[in-house]
Amino acid sequence: MSRVGTFEILDTDRNSRARRGRLWTAHGPVETPVFMPVGTQATVKAMTPLELETAGAEIVLGNTYHLYVRPGLATIERHGGLHRFMGWDRPILTDSGGFQVFSLSKLRKIRPDGVEFSSHVDGSRLFLGPREAMDIQRRLGSDIAMVFDECPPYPCTAEYACQAVERTLSWAALCAESRSGNGQLVFGIVQGGEFAELRMRCARELTAIGFDGYAVGGVSVGEPETVMLEATRHGVRELPFERPRYLMGVGVMRQMLEAISLGVDMFDCVMPTRYARHGTALTRFGKYPVKAGEYKDDLRPVEEGCGCYCCSRFSRSYVRHLMNVGEILGVRLLTIHNIHRFMEFMREIQRALETGSFEEFRAAFYEQQKEKER
């Protein structure tokens, strides 16, 4: 009997809603809590699939809208699907393209049945709705497909947020009807802006439709951290305990840690790769600019005690040199480190949940942050 779609809850924290789990997909299990590196264009920037595997990445994220525009479905289908196209044989989650309703606001028109876009590449007119988004994701062959939703901006009025929730629920029902039935999991997305009642209502109605997992969307769009965490709290509290929960677009370590304590299992963010391209190292103590002059003769690794390829072989001085002369290797090494740091952070949390020491881990994390500030 297939285990695809099963979410096993292996450990729970006695003092919070944090839990450790295992989600079974068509391409194998995913241990949670998990961070998913973002591979919008069928690649995690500057990383090979082997380097991602070495870092411990179990699942990556692709984007329906961008892959639909370039290279197009025909090209990917000729390869036998997205996994073969990008040389990645572990699980893939695809975002439905709903976030482009938010991010490409100047290039789109929202209709009851979906969104009409002007392509950001050549200006050609495109249409994406719930049925179209599900069909594209089916043809891509991702392990987890996200429903098509509307992500409202921050700030917005309660009236606008309510309209976005209504569209999100209507589109979610159509997505549920359009499931592929070939082992591809489908996650619903909770919207509602900063309005608690809307978040809880959206979560309840999505649960009534029934999905393999649920995401909290519409966060990390410019709102204060306190607002983001409250939106997460209200979104998660009405979701079924036995299904995985995914907080979309969040990658700040303390925010992920707090969200895990609220019961979140999955995360994604461009932060590790984007920061690396701009010369910023992410460490357990915070971030710092490797490109800065103070590291010109610094012989220490990017992060002391880190076992990644970058830190085991090269100094801050060398990585800084590469970044400042525009050598591609600098970006690659810093990306390898940043991705490794995020993977290790999740492994540490998993171990803490296994051993019943999550609260101690959480307290130690914040003590490290205070030490850095002193």
Tell me, what's the pLDDT at 373? 63
Residues of the chain with CATH 3.20.20.105: 7-269
- Walk along the chain (374 residues) and give the pLDDT tens digit of each residue: 799 999 999 999 999 999 999 999 999 999 999 999 999 999 999 999 999 999 999 999 999 999 999 999 999 999 999 999 999 999 999 999 877 656 766 677 888 899 887 788 888 888 899 999 999 999 999 999 999 999 999 999 999 999 999 999 999 999 999 998 899 999 999 999 999 999 999 999 999 999 999 999 999 999 999 999 999 999 999 999 999 999 999 999 999 999 999 999 999 999 999 999 999 999 999 999 999 999 999 999 999 999 999 999 999 999 999 999 999 999 999 999 999 999 999 999 999 999 999 999 999 999 988 777 65
- Tokens 């940043």 label which residue? 338
Tell me, what's the pLDDT at 104? 66
Tell me, what's the pLDDT at 100? 67
Over residues 318-357, the pLDDT tens digits come to: 999 999 999 999 999 999 999 999 999 999 999 999 999 9
Cβ atoms 43, 86 nearer than 8 A: yes
Over residues 40-67, the pLDDT tens digits come to: 999 999 999 999 999 999 999 999 999 9
Cβ atoms 212, 247 nearer than 8 A: no
Cβ atoms 349, 260 nearer than 8 A: yes
**Does the active-site annotation cover 113?**
no
Tell me, what's the pLDDT at 297? 98
Q: At what angle do helices 225-237 and 253-261 cross, to 10 degrees?
A: 30
Q: How far is CA 313 from CA 75, 275, 320, 337, in A?
A: 39, 21, 14, 11
CATH no. of 7-269: 3.20.20.105
Over residues 5-28, the pLDDT tens digits come to: 999 999 999 999 999 999 999 999
Tell me, what's the pLDDT at 38? 98
Which one of the listed residues 89, 212, 268, 298 is annotated catalytic? 268
Tell me, what's the pLDDT at 110? 84
Which one of the listed residues 13, 95, 143, 265 is annotated catalytic? 95
Element (H, E) at 236: helix 225-237
Q: How many helices and strands in the chain, by DSSP H and E?
A: 15, 16
pTM: 0.97
